[in-house]
Structure formats: structure tokens, C-alpha cells
Amino acid sequence: MNERGIGEKRTTSAFTRVLFALCLAGFTPRAANAEAPATPPVQDSRTESSTDPDLVPDYQQAVLVFSLPAIELYNKAIEESQKYNDEEAVRLYKKAIRRSPRFWMAYSNMGTALIDLGRLDEADRALRQALHINPSDGLTHMHRSRIARLRGDHRRALKLLQPCFQYQQTRETHEECTFKRAHLLERLERYREAHQLYEQLVKWRPQDLDSLFGRLVTSAFLNQPARARTEYEEWKSAVEQRAKLFGRRPEQVDRRWFEMREIFEAKRRTEGPGVAKWPASMPVPELTPEPRSSI
């Protein structure tokens, strides 16, 4: 879902957290009853224009502060989305936006809810509006990239992800954008670049199963069975550790467990490093033992 919340359970007030977010985004808070700025917001040339009269009736006169009622509606929308009630979440996000037309986080979260509902055109419009207000938000760029990926356009998805690396992001967002980039490069068969990014991700988060798995799969595509075997052992160890921690079986922690065991733990047909036949669901070149000089 990746929706950012302004949760009520934490000690800091929702309003204070939003003001902090505004400061990070470069906005100057002002009183809700203050006059609108004389100069309308300037469209940033780095993002596509998306001012939509249906979403923002009076965008040029939008206020620069989020009202408290808008924040309350936003929090309620997140609660509904966490319950997978995305239709209601979208309705509440729209109400929050009507209260505070520059509430870019509401636009962004509404976009993710619309994606989950399969309404990709509406989602893209909402996300573009969020970027119209705050072009530096990495999560919003990441969700626009997700729409392109869902449409099967991986090249466009990779392009839409690029601004994540042009602006300063939180470490968590930067790592997530890096993972999305690695996955898209893998889909585009740029395995060497993808493997390098997975390697970096494993350094950042050594127990992340998806990063460990992506690394071993790209090694397989690069026809590096010895390296893939080593990376499989690291992924396997991480799955087993997580299973032990939560008192579950490995296959409950990662559904790829049995598939990978069949591949890497089948009886060797060669003396050197090698793996069994990969399943049709994961097509990769047939792996052969590497020359010792290449290791």
C-alpha cells in the first residue's frame, strides 16, 4: 500500500507532524484565515502538468496550509485503506483535498488507493497532481512508476522512477526506489546492472528476502551458478532465521522455499557447481559450471 500516515496513536499531534512535513517540502505555514498568496504557485518544469478542474476547482488560489479538518479526514482515509476499504478511502481523501487543495500527501495516497482499485487513469491523474504541488516526493514518483509497470511498460516505469534519485529522500524511500529500479532492470534483461543494485541493497538490509532473492536470480540469468549457489545459501539462511523468529515453517515465510530447494538441492549431475532445471515459472538460461578462472 505504501501510504504515509499521520497516525493519532503517536504522542506528537497530527497537525505538528504535517507542519514538519511542510517544512521539509519547502512550504511556509500560515494561519488558515490568512489571505491567499498574490502570486499563484509556479508549475515545476521537471514534472508533467496535471492541473485538473475536476480535482482542484480553484487550484491557483489554493491555500498553503492543511486545515485540521482535512488532516482528520486524511487520517480516517488511511484507517479505511488499512481495512482494504479503498472506495471509502478515496471518498475521504477527496473530502480532505476539498478542505485543503494543496494537501499533496492526500493526492498521493488517493493515487495508491485508486491503483489498488484498478482505476489506473484516475490514479495517475491524482499522483500527477501531487507532483504538481511537491515535485520532490519520492513515494509519489514510485507509485507513478508502478502504474507504468502494471501496464507492462517497463521502460517508462524505469524513466518515471528516475526522479527518486534526483531529490533527497528518506533512507527508507531511497532503498525502496533502489529495489524497484533493480526489479525493473531485471525485467528489461539488464541483469548485470540489476545484480549490482541487489548487491547494494543486501549491504543496506542484509536480511531482506526479496533483495537476497533478486540477487541470486540475476546471477542465474548471468550464468554464474557458483555465485548463484552461494547467494542461494545466504537467502536460505535468512528465510530459516525469520521462520525461527516467528515460530513458522520456512515455506510460510517465503512461498519460493520449495521451488528453490528443488533447484539448488537436487542431486548434482556434475562434479563442479551446478543446479537442476529451473521451473517454467522462472525462465532462465540453462546453467553450466563456470571455468575456475572466471570465479
Around Cβ 282, how many Cβ atoms within 10 Å? 13
97 within 8 A of 106, measured Cβ to Cβ: yes
Tell me the pLDDT band of 1, cut-offs 50, 70 and 90: low
- Cα 169 to Cα 81: distance, rounded to the nearest angstrom: 24
Percentage above 90 pLDDT, the chain: 54
So what's the pLDDT on residue 256? 87
109 within 8 A of 93, measured Cβ to Cβ: yes
For the chain, count helices (H), then strands (E): 13, 0
Would you state the cell numbers that stand for residue 45, as one nine-digit string? 518544469
Superfamily name with CATH number, domain 1-135? Tetratricopeptide repeat domain (1.25.40.10)
- Residue ranges, comma separated, of all CATH 1.25.40.10 domains in the chain are 1-135
Q: What is the mean pLDDT of residues 244-265?
A: 86
- Cα 278 to Cα 263: distance, rounded to the nearest angstrom: 6
Neighbouring residues of 143: CB distance < 8 A, sequence distance ≥ 6: 2, 108, 111, 112, 115, 123, 127
Query: CA Rg, the chain, in Å?
Result: 23
What integer best gives the mean pLDDT of the chain?
75
So what's the pLDDT on residue 40? 29
Distances (CA, A) of 259 to 29, 142, 262: 54, 30, 5
Segment among 46-55, 110-119, 170-179, 229-238 with least mean pLDDT: 46-55
Angle at 281 between CA 120 and CA 277, to 5 degrees: 160
- Cα 96 to Cα 122: distance, rounded to the nearest angstrom: 17
More confident of the two residues 178 and 269: 178
- Is the predicted pLDDT of residue 15 greater than 80, yes or no? no
Q: What is the pLDDT of residues 173-215, one digit of tens each?
A: 899 999 999 999 999 999 999 999 999 999 999 999 999 999 9
Helices 209-221 and 171-187 pack at an angle, to 10 degrees, of 30
More confident of the two residues 294 and 223: 223
243 within 8 A of 249, measured Cβ to Cβ: yes
Q: What is the mean pLDDT of residues 264-270?
A: 55
So what's the pLDDT on residue 24? 41
Distances (CA, A) of 27 to 65, 104, 248, 260: 8, 12, 47, 49
- Cα 147 to Cα 161: distance, rounded to the nearest angstrom: 11
* pTM (predicted TM-score): 0.69
Q: Which of 190, 272, 278, 284 is nearest to 226 (CA)?
A: 272
Around Cβ 263, how many Cβ atoms within 10 Å? 22
So what's the pLDDT on residue 221? 87
- Cα 172 to Cα 164: distance, rounded to the nearest angstrom: 12
- Is the predicted pLDDT of residue 295 greater than 70, yes or no? no
So what's the pLDDT on residue 167? 85
- Cα 277 to Cα 263: distance, rounded to the nearest angstrom: 6
- Is the predicted pLDDT of residue 84 greater than 80, yes or no? yes
- Cα 2 to Cα 208: distance, rounded to the nearest angstrom: 17
Q: What is the pLDDT of residues 17-42, one digit of tens each?
A: 444 344 444 443 333 333 333 322 22
So what's the pLDDT on residue 187? 92
DSSP 226: H
Q: What is the mean pLDDT of residues 279-283?
A: 48
Q: Which of 157, 158, 168, 161 is nearest to 140 (CA)?
A: 161
- Is the predicted pLDDT of residue 257 greater than 90, yes or no? no
- Is the predicted pLDDT of residue 285 greater than 80, yes or no? no
Residue 21, phi then psi, degrees to nearest 5 = -65, -35
So what's the pLDDT on residue 10? 27
